[in-house]
Chain A
């Protein structure tokens, strides 16, 4: 029945895992985990990992790996920080209205460039990606370090900072409900359209109960998430400022102004949609999957497999650029250690999300859920004041266990 319903059992498993983690931490932390405040912060911190994980899916699906994303994030973040804190202000003055977009574009371009370079060495010279990006892990960190000679670069441009969330970096109550409405409409449209297409060609239809369940649960999840984001309010001092700007009276007991969905989360969701579209609806995505399934078949099909691999590393690089922007904007600074160990979180997110390390299999939404699992683990541990070394141990163990479970699961389903 589950098979006919076309509900992904793996996705269900992941949601169950998430639920266990959330409820578990909630009780162990004395009721502080499942609060709007914690979940809102969790959502902001999850964003860079989620953004990079969507790219890592394609890299791993194409039978490659990118171990350099953490160092690349450090390099690109540092470069963007130096440009906006030390170069642009000298020429155009502080907080020029175009600064944020110029810096962002330079960051994306730099990420793309690094990605193309690594991808070309992998695809055209034939050095295994494991080695190329292991080298990259050292090289880009070293470059990031020497760019700043170990200094912390701050502050960021004030518009640029919005990319990182923070108390001003979210779209507010109304905007969030609008997004929720759009998302629910999109879910309904997708389900209806899929059914219509199948009717047109006379293919088997998905049973009605499954359709309705997916629609209702999906919509409730969206509404619940937005409700949570809207239940977290601006801190008093910021709220007072905002009230003044909007010409609102400041009542005795203060004013609860909801933050709503933060920009980083919005960016991450946008990236997820775009990457999902590329992976499933575009030729390029199909090529990546075919290379992962059988490189020889892809080649014999007339696909330019090398160029496809280069593009995959380029996409990864661009996404690292996006994640770097979000990260330095949130911290309002860049340090040389920026992004250290991020590769572990990103790879773990992709693998937990169902990406197979032997290539050919993986989904973008799965990786985003995986990122949520990883970030939930980390946030929960921070909340419970687990010290850093133990956190690393847990993350390391989780990564290995996730791969082990994946291997086991696939071996069984092969029979």
Chain B
């Protein structure tokens, strides 16, 4: 696996909003069949970073390589064409449209006559949702009338349906109940076995520890570091998140502060 090029390589990414340096010189990479945890406090720049990969945010500078080839990602369409699917933190659902409509938003199935094939889209949605949240039954109502967890299921189903090679999940289970969260975790393990690379952003450090192979930590727009899950303890990662210290630099007083 080491000789094949990484699935994704983001090099020296920079994004500024007016005076705010939201992402500063950050480089991360993702390998096939790997789950990369991306963690950091609120406003650390995680969402902004992954948006440059999903085409939702133009970086000021930086390079993105997919399978070793330089990639130009100017808009969400470019990213999808490269096999990048994203579950946004905001879910990005059109409230007035039903679940199948949202799943296929921008990629609607049409009949030979060029009309929307609602039945086929509903059918496909039911099948994906069966793997994800079998209790989901609200295929005809606008998503605005769904619960937070159901809406999240729709967003996940959308990302999973299109056979992504690279899956970005920004807080995918924040609104899910325990049973649904477990379904999503199981799904992630399954996708991982299929060789899909997943970037998982989560505030649930246990979740990240459970699922990730490697963990990248951001603090105030900068990358603190990337570590192998096996090489670190949860405390060490917490220290990276909160005070930006590398695992080796950690002193006992730091640890005491963390737990204080």
Chain A residues close to B by CB (< 8 Å): 197-198, 200-201, 203, 277, 280-283, 286-287, 289-290, 292-294, 296-303, 360-361
For B94, give its contact among A201, A203, A289 (CB under 8 Å).
Answer: A289
Per the bound structure, the CA–CA distance linking A197 and B119 in Å amounts to: 7
Q: Judging by beta carbons under 8 Å apart, are A294 and B115 in contact?
A: no
Q: Judging by beta carbons under 8 Å apart, are A201 and B108 in contact?
A: no
Per the bound structure, the CA–CA distance linking A83 and B118 in Å amounts to: 45
A290-B94, A294-B94 are contacts. A303–B106 as well, Cβ < 8 Å?
yes
Q: Does B97 contact A (CB under 8 A)?
A: yes
Name 21 interchain pairs, CB-CB below 8 A, sorted by A.
Answer: A201-B119, A201-B123, A280-B116, A286-B116, A289-B94, A292-B96, A293-B97, A293-B142, A296-B90, A297-B94, A297-B105, A298-B105, A299-B76, A300-B86, A301-B76, A301-B105, A301-B106, A302-B76, A302-B80, A302-B107, A361-B96
For A203, give its contact among B54, B86, B106, B122 (CB under 8 Å).
Answer: B122
Q: Which residues of B contact A298 (CB under 8 A)?
A: 94, 105-106
Q: How far is the CB of A282 from chain B (nearest CB, A)?
A: 7
Q: Judging by beta carbons under 8 Å apart, are B96 and A293 in contact?
A: yes
Per the bound structure, the CA–CA distance linking A82 and B56 in Å amounts to: 50
Q: Which residues of B contact A293 (CB under 8 A)?
A: 94-97, 142
Q: Judging by beta carbons under 8 Å apart, are A286 and B101 in contact?
A: yes
Q: Judging by beta carbons under 8 Å apart, are B75 and A297 in contact?
A: no
Interface centre among A201, A290, A292, A296 (most CB of B within 10 A): A290
Q: Does B243 contact A (CB under 8 A)?
A: no
Per the bound structure, the CA–CA distance linking A170 and B98 in Å amounts to: 42
Q: How far is the CB of A306 from chain B (nearest CB, A)?
A: 12
Q: Judging by beta carbons under 8 Å apart, are B108 and A283 in contact?
A: yes
Q: Judging by beta carbons under 8 Å apart, are B108 and A289 in contact?
A: no
Per the bound structure, the CA–CA distance linking A297 and B91 in Å amounts to: 8
Q: Which residues of A contact B75 (CB under 8 A)?
A: 302
Q: Judging by beta carbons under 8 Å apart, are A283 and B116 in contact?
A: yes
Interface residues of B in 71-123 (CB under 8 A from A): 75-77, 80, 86, 88, 90-97, 101-102, 105-108, 110, 114-116, 119, 122-123
Q: Which residues of B contact A300 (CB under 8 A)?
A: 54, 56, 76, 86, 88, 92
A286-B108, A302-B75 are contacts. A200–B97 as well, Cβ < 8 Å?
no
Q: Which residues of B contact A201 (CB under 8 A)?
A: 119, 122-123
Q: How far is the CB of A302 from chain B (nearest CB, A)?
A: 4
Per the bound structure, the CA–CA distance linking A203 and B77 in Å amounts to: 32
Q: Which residues of B contact A277 (CB under 8 A)?
A: 115
Q: Judging by beta carbons under 8 Å apart, are A303 and B105 in contact?
A: yes
Per the bound structure, the CA–CA distance linking A410 and B92 in Å amounts to: 22
Per the bound structure, the CA–CA distance linking A282 and B117 in Å amounts to: 9
Q: Which residues of B contact A280 (CB under 8 A)?
A: 116
Q: Which residues of B contact A282 (CB under 8 A)?
A: 114-116
Q: Which residues of B contact A294 (CB under 8 A)?
A: 92-95
Q: How far is the CB of B154 from chain A (nearest CB, A)?
A: 11
Q: Which residues of B contact A361 (CB under 8 A)?
A: 96
Q: What per-residue 1/0 map shows which CB atoms of B141-152 lie under 8 Å from chain A?
A: 010000000000
Per the bound structure, the CA–CA distance linking A299 and B75 in Å amounts to: 9
Q: Judging by beta carbons under 8 Å apart, are A289 and B96 in contact?
A: yes
Per the bound structure, the CA–CA distance linking A211 and B123 in Å amounts to: 23
Q: How far is the CB of B237 from chain A (nearest CB, A)?
A: 30
**Interchain residue pairs A-B with the least CB separation, the first 7:** A301-B106, A293-B94, A293-B96, A301-B105, A360-B96, A302-B77, A302-B106
Q: How far is the CB of B146 from chain A (nearest CB, A)?
A: 13
| Given A286-B105, A290-B101, A293-B96, 20 new contacts (CB under 8 A) | A200-B119, A201-B119, A277-B115, A281-B116, A283-B108, A283-B110, A286-B116, A289-B94, A289-B96, A292-B96, A293-B97, A293-B142, A294-B92, A297-B92, A297-B93, A298-B106, A299-B56, A300-B88, A300-B92, A301-B92
Closest A residue to B95 using CB positions: A293
Closest A residue to B111 using CB positions: A281
Closest B residue to A204 using CB positions: B140
Q: How far is the CB of A126 from chain B (nearest CB, A)?
A: 17
Q: Which residues of B contact A200 (CB under 8 A)?
A: 119
Q: Which residues of B contact A297 (CB under 8 A)?
A: 91-94, 102, 105
Q: How far is the CB of A23 from chain B (nearest CB, A)?
A: 35
Q: How far is the CB of B7 from chain A (nearest CB, A)?
A: 21
Q: Which residues of B contact A299 (CB under 8 A)?
A: 56, 76
Q: Judging by beta carbons under 8 Å apart, are B95 and A360 in contact?
A: yes
Q: How far is the CB of B163 from chain A (nearest CB, A)?
A: 16
Q: Judging by beta carbons under 8 Å apart, are B94 and A360 in contact?
A: yes
Interface centre among A198, A282, A287, A297 (most CB of B within 10 A): A297
Per the bound structure, the CA–CA distance linking A292 and B95 in Å amounts to: 9
Q: How far is the CB of A2 from chain B (nearest CB, A)?
A: 15
Interface residues of B in 33-55 (CB under 8 A from A): 54
Closest B residue to A285 using CB positions: B116
Per the bound structure, the CA–CA distance linking A250 and B119 in Å amounts to: 58
Q: Judging by beta carbons under 8 Å apart, are A296 and B95 in contact?
A: no
Q: How far is the CB of B76 from chain A (nearest CB, A)?
A: 5
Per the bound structure, the CA–CA distance linking A303 and B94 in Å amounts to: 12
Q: How far is the CB of B109 from chain A (nearest CB, A)?
A: 10
A197-B119, A301-B76 are contacts. A296–B92 as well, Cβ < 8 Å?
yes
Closest A residue to B143 using CB positions: A293
Q: Which residues of A contact B94 (CB under 8 A)?
A: 289-290, 293-294, 297-298, 360
